[in-house]
Structure 1
Amino acid sequence: MIDEINYFPKRDRFQKKKKPEDDWNELKKKRARQDARKKV
């Protein structure tokens, strides 16, 4: 069984590190690269 006292703070820190906006920007960059590849 995981030690919840140690587990949850780590998980929260990990989730806070990634902002939704960052994910969205990454997604847009990926899409842009894919589109560029298709056009060539």
Structure 2
Amino acid sequence: MMVKGMNKMRRNSEKEAAPEEPSEEVVLLREISAKLGERK
């Protein structure tokens, strides 16, 4: 039973780490950090 749970978690983390398209949150965070960097 533990192995099944580990496999499920691994599959989910692989989905989240898919490099194909960054999530909107990541894009927004990058834009915000870039703007903050420009301001300094």
TM over 0.5: no
Query: Higher helix fraction: Structure 1 or Structure 2?
Result: 1
TM range (shorter): 0.3 to 0.5
With structure 1 as the length reference, what TM-score do the two structures score?
0.37
With structure 2 as the length reference, what TM-score do the two structures score?
0.37
